[in-house]
Amino acid sequence: MTTRLIVWRHGNTDWNAGNRVQGQTDVPLNDLGRQQAVDAAELLVRMRPDALVSSDLRRAADTAAALAALTGLSVTHDERLRERSFGLWQGLTMAEVAETRPEEHARWAAGADVIGGEVETLEDLGKRVADALQAAADGVGPDGTVIVATHGAAARSGVGHLLGWPREQLRTLRALQNCHWVELTHDTARGWQIATYNVGPFSDRPVPPPV
């Protein structure tokens, strides 16, 4: 018996488009993001999910709502699925971060756990998101499918923590594109495994940074 977990990044926002650090700022989807959510939902509905769970931030919650409209399922919101808190970076473009906080930016680019600037550590991020992903999977049980709408950095760290990967291995994964997803499966013999990564309807689009 196999549990299926789909970890789905939200659609595009104006801050994604402007390369601006969102973190836990509650930025809404833009027109492109809303259309991405609809297009992705038309694919994900074929997976016949048993449950939908989402970050409580609007860009993820509204992405999940597009799928809820097709499935008839209600969405459960879990604040543990929020994006990484980027502290004093939030609202800045990445170019502004590099210019005004160069040491912190260098640590971030190198994949360091502790960055400074009140940015949440990767360890804390991975643990809280993985806890939420595990709870979502537990909620549907063996042979169930749950789709979880979350954020770029949150998805990558949460999946990595769930799999028990070291940070060095996690850095080999590209950032999820907007409205793309990771499919994981779990059974008692093999535990968690990745089935697919970065799947979605807009594979030809550039990858916005997972912030």
- What is the predicted pLDDT for the residue at 207? 47
113 known member of a binding site: no
Told to judge if 10 belongs to the known catalytic residues of this protein, a careful annotator would answer yes
**For residue 145, which of 186, 84, 189 has the smallest C-alpha distance?**
186
Catalytic residue among 10, 105, 151, 180: 10
- Give a three-class secondary structure readout of the chain: CCEEEEEEECCCEHHHHCCECCCCCCCCECHHHHHHHHHHHHHHHHHCCCEEEECCCHHHHHHHHHHHHHHCCCEEECHHHCCCCCHHHCCCEHHHHHHHCHHHHHHHHCCCCCCCCCCCCHHHHHHHHHHHHHHHHHHHCCCCEEEEEECHHHHHHHHHHHHCCCHHHHCCCCCCCCCCEEEEEEECCCEEEEEEEEECCCCCCCCCCCC
Q: What is the pTM of this model?
A: 0.93
Residue 174, number of CB atoms within 10 A of its CB: 12
Phi, psi dihedrals of residue 32, rounded to the nearest 5°: -60, -45
Query: Whole-angstrom Cα distance, residue 42 to residue 112?
Result: 37
The class level of CATH for 3-84+121-199 reads: alpha beta
- What is the predicted pLDDT for the residue at 141? 87
164 known member of a binding site: no
pLDDT tens digits, 138-167: 999 899 999 999 999 999 999 999 999 998
Sheet of strand 51-54, all strands in order from the earlier edge strand to the far edge = 75-77, 51-54, 145-150, 3-9, 181-187, 191-199
Told to judge if 42 belongs to the known catalytic residues of this protein, a careful annotator would answer no
* pLDDT classification of 68: cutoffs 50, 70, 90: very high
Q: Is the pLDDT of residue 172 over 60?
A: yes
* pLDDT classification of 185: cutoffs 50, 70, 90: very high
13 known member of a binding site: yes
Catalytic residue among 42, 79, 83, 151: 83
11 known member of a binding site: yes
* pLDDT classification of 206: cutoffs 50, 70, 90: very low
pLDDT tens digits, 34-58: 999 999 999 999 999 999 999 999 9
Q: Is the pLDDT of residue 208 over 80?
A: no
Supply the mean pLDDT for the chain. Answer: 94
Domain map (residue ranges) of the chain: 3-84+121-199
12 known member of a binding site: yes
CA-CA-CA-CA torsion for 164, 125, 141, 70, nearest 10 degrees? -130
Q: Which two tokens stand for residue 202?
A: 């807009």
84 known member of a binding site: no
